């Protein structure tokens, strides 16, 4: 490959051929030409071109040939005015070519494409919905209200449980000399019931709720941290209207009051709970007991040779008048029992209704079969949890819910899963971090655990043992908080733009 002439002396060489150089520049160029063969060759080429141009009038064909050659060399720029030459983007001393022009066009197209993509990304990034999650202040408050409302609607659970749970153990005092109700009242022989007869009594109790007006006082006790807490609950229930409840501590101070609407009748759900109870526990019972000076039948559920629960059923009305709940080791968790009771069929209207006890956040009842659809939308909806079956599903709205409430039960123990889309804003009141469970845990009248997983805040509430609470928490998601990448934000932005366009069309 022959060397190129010195680009810095191109003008001097051209002027030299045209005899337009001054003495000083002429001497400098000649001195250079002595040692530079490339520049000498260029001078010779310029002289030949000049000679051809000088003889163009005498030899038109030669001139035409030269013009054609120059045009082919210049390419697209042959027709450009001479004054545009200083603005052309060409290397010094290099003439433009078709190949170079193609490269320039390709580069320009690439730059335009990059600019277009950048602009589209900018539009998508700007249009993306805010990634800021709604702040969830203290989810245990609505979660416990949901759980309390659910218990109050249950036919086989004392209404006092939900009321005392909302009252909180902090407002109650340790019990002194208070004994839990016992099935062995007087040591006299009892009339034993078969499992079929025991189930029939439970069915009657389930369907008797809401069929009577009654009132009275219940004693409630619970074991918490090795101490037993006590409360007194006044209940006034009117058939078809609901119940008015007031909770008092052992000093006689009212710590909670509220109204519970009448229990919703659902033979499907009630029958399902009874079947779960029969499937998971051995049912026995006996007659000859007494509660509040009224004859009662005692039913007992046991598993693994240990008692799990006892119920007292009023013989005359079939109403649930007493209950005990035990943990897996046979230790008492909580109990309730009427000390005074009056039963009558009356339709008298309650004169004044206090605020509702445990107002619910979720107002839409969904079918259990919708769990798979909810799971596909990012919710955690297992069909079974900690050995309990999914029996109820509720949400704050039918479409695109932001809050989900699920109830799991085995016919006796209940676990409530309260899920909210959002960001946990502060620590739940009274809760302590349990590193083993990865949740903020509070053992009150009920067990409660709260944690953040991805974009959902989970709150688990149970009337069962601490072991049951731990099993439920371990079987639910524990994912790190979610954050969107730049590409995910751009995609979300364009999805929002297309959604707006579709809404307007």
Half-sphere CA count of 150, side-chain side, radius 13 A? 30
Q: Compute the mean pLDDT over every residue in the chain, rounded to the nearest whole number.
A: 79
What pLDDT is recorded for position 355?
A: 63
- Same domain (yes/no): 175, 63: no
Asked which of 152-161, 206-215, 305-314, 404-413 is least confident by mean pLDDT, the reply is: 152-161
- 350 located within any domain: no
- Same domain (yes/no): 226, 321: yes
Tens of pLDDT, residues 19-73: 878 888 888 888 888 888 888 888 888 888 877 766 655 555 555 665 666 566 5
Stretch 284-307: mean pLDDT, rounded? 92
What letters, b where the CB count within 10 A reaches 16 and e where it falls short, cover 432-458? eeeeebebbbbbbbbbbbbbbbbbbbb
Confidence of residue 266 (pLDDT cuts 50, 70, 90): very low
- Same domain (yes/no): 306, 207: yes
Compute the distance between CA of residue 102 and CA of residue 105 in angstroms, rounded to an integer: 5
What pLDDT is recorded for position 385?
A: 93
What pLDDT is recorded for position 395?
A: 92
Q: DSSP state, 181?
A: P
- Same domain (yes/no): 199, 70: no
Instruction: For residue 35, give the 3-state DSSP assignment.
Output: helix
Distances (CA, A) of 230 to 116, 223, 249, 483: 72, 9, 7, 46
Give the domain range for residue 82.
Answer: 7-90
What pLDDT is recorded for position 500?
A: 72
- Same domain (yes/no): 73, 149: no
- 33 located within any domain: yes
Confirm if 479 and 458 have CB atoms less than 8 A apart. no
**Helix-, strand-, coil-residue percentages of the chain, each rounded to 5:** 35, 30, 35
Asked which of 6-15, 123-132, 376-385, 495-504 is least confident by mean pLDDT, the reply is: 123-132
- Same domain (yes/no): 176, 281: yes
- 211 located within any domain: yes
> What's the residue count for the chain?
505
- Same domain (yes/no): 240, 315: yes
Stretch 303-321: mean pLDDT, rounded? 92
- Same domain (yes/no): 321, 249: yes
- Same domain (yes/no): 146, 270: yes
What pLDDT is recorded for position 183?
A: 41
- Same domain (yes/no): 73, 178: no
What pLDDT is recorded for position 101?
A: 67
- 338 located within any domain: yes
Residue that terminates a domain, selected from 298, 320, 344: 344
Confirm if 154 and 160 have CB atoms less than 8 A apart. no
- Same domain (yes/no): 235, 339: yes
β-bridge pairing 423-424 and 282-291:
unpaired
- 268 located within any domain: yes
Compute the distance between CA of residue 448 and CA of residue 443 in angstroms, rounded to an integer: 6
Tell me: pLDDT of 18 over 50.
yes
Q: What is the DSSP string of 347-412?
A: -PPPS---SBTT--S--EEE-GGGHHHHHHTT----SEETTEEEEEEEESSSSS-SEEEEEEESSS
Residue that terminates a domain, selected from 344, 377, 399: 344
- 479 located within any domain: no
Tell me: pLDDT of 88 over 60.
no
Q: DSSP state, 319?
A: -
- 259 located within any domain: yes
Model confidence pTM above 0.75: no
Domain harbouring 297, CATH code: 2.50.20
Identify which has the larger pLDDT, 117 or 380.
Answer: 380
Compute the distance between CA of residue 505 and CA of residue 500 in angstroms, rounded to an integer: 9
Angle at 215 between CA 210 and CA 219, to 5 degrees: 110
Residue that terminates a domain, selected from 318, 344, 370: 344
Identify which has the larger pLDDT, 504 or 56.
Answer: 504
- Same domain (yes/no): 74, 146: no
Instruction: For residue 132, give the 3-state DSSP assignment.
Output: coil
For a pLDDT cut of 90, what percent of the chain falls above it?
24
Tens of pLDDT, residues 221-256: 887 766 778 889 999 888 878 888 899 988 888 988
What pLDDT is recorded for position 185?
A: 45
What pLDDT is recorded for position 178?
A: 42
- 497 located within any domain: no
Confirm if 181 and 160 have CB atoms less than 8 A apart. no
What pLDDT is recorded for position 169?
A: 63
What pLDDT is recorded for position 176?
A: 46
Tell me: pLDDT of 84 over 70.
no
The tally of domains found in the chain comes to 2
Q: Which residues contact 233 (CB under 8 A, 6 or more apart)?
A: 159, 160, 163, 164, 217, 218, 219, 220, 245, 246, 247, 248, 336
């Amino acid at each position: 490959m022959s060397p190129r002439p010195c680009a810095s002396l191109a003008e001097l060489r051209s002027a030299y051929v045209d005899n337009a150089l001054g003495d000083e520049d002429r001497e400098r160029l000649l001195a250079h030409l002595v040692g530079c063969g490339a520049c000498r060759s260029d001078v010779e080429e310029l002289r030949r071109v000049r000679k051809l141009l000088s003889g163009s009038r005498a030899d038109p064909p030669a001139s035409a040939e030269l013009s054609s050659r120059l045009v082919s060399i210049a390419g697209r720029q042959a027709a450009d005015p001479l004054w545009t030459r200083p603005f052309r983007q060409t290397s010094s001393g290099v003439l433009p070519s078709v190949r170079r022009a193609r490269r320039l066009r390709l580069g320009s197209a690439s730059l335009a494409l990059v600019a277009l993509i950048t602009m589209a990304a900018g539009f998508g990034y700007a249009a993306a919905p805010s990634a800021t999650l709604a702040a969830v202040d203290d989810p245990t408050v609505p979660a416990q209200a949901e759980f309390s409302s659910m218990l109050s609607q249950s036919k086989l659970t004392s209404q006092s449980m939900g009321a005392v749970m909302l009252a909180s153990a902090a407002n109650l005092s340790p019990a002194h000399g208070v004994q839990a109700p016992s099935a062995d009242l007087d040591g006299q022989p009892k009339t034993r019931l078969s499992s079929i007869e025991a189930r029939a009594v439970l069915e009657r109790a389930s369907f008797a709720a809401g069929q009577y007006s009654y009132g009275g006082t219940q004693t409630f006790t619970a074991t918490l941290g090795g101490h037993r807490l006590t409360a007194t609950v006044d209940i006034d229930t009117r058939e078809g209207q609901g119940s008015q409840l007031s909770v008092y501590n052992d000093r006689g101070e009212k710590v909670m009051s509220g109204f519970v609407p009448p229990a919703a009748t659902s033979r499907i759900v009630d029958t399902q709970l009874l079947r779960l109870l029969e499937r998971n526990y051995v049912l026995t019972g006996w007659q000859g007991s007494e509660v509040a000076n009224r004859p009662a039948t005692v039913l007992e559920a046991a598993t693994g040779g240990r008692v799990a629960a006892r119920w007292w059923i009023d013989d005359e009305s079939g109403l649930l008048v007493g209950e005990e709940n035990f943990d897996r080791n046979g230790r008492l968790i909580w109990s309730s029992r009427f000390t005074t009771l009056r039963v009558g069929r009356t339709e008298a209207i309650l004169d004044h209704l206090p605020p509702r006890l445990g107002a619910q956040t979720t107002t839409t009842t969904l079918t259990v079969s919708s769990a798979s659809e909810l799971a596909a939308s990012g919710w955690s909806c297992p069909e079974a949890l900690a050995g309990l079956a999914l029996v109820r599903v509720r949400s704050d709205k039918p479409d695109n819910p932001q809050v989900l409430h699920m109830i799991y039960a085995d016919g006796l123990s209940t676990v409530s899963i309260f899920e909210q889309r959002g960001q946990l804003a502060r620590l739940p009141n009274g809760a302590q971090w349990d590193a083993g469970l990865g949740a903020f845990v509070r053992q009150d009248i009920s067990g409660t655990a709260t944690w953040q997983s991805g974009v959902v805040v989970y709150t688990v509430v149970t009337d069962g043992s601490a072991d049951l609470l731990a099993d439920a928490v371990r079987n639910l998601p524990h994912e790190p908080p979610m954050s969107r990448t730049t590409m995910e934000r751009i995609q979300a932005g364009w999805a929002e733009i297309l959604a707006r366009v579709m809404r307007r069309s």
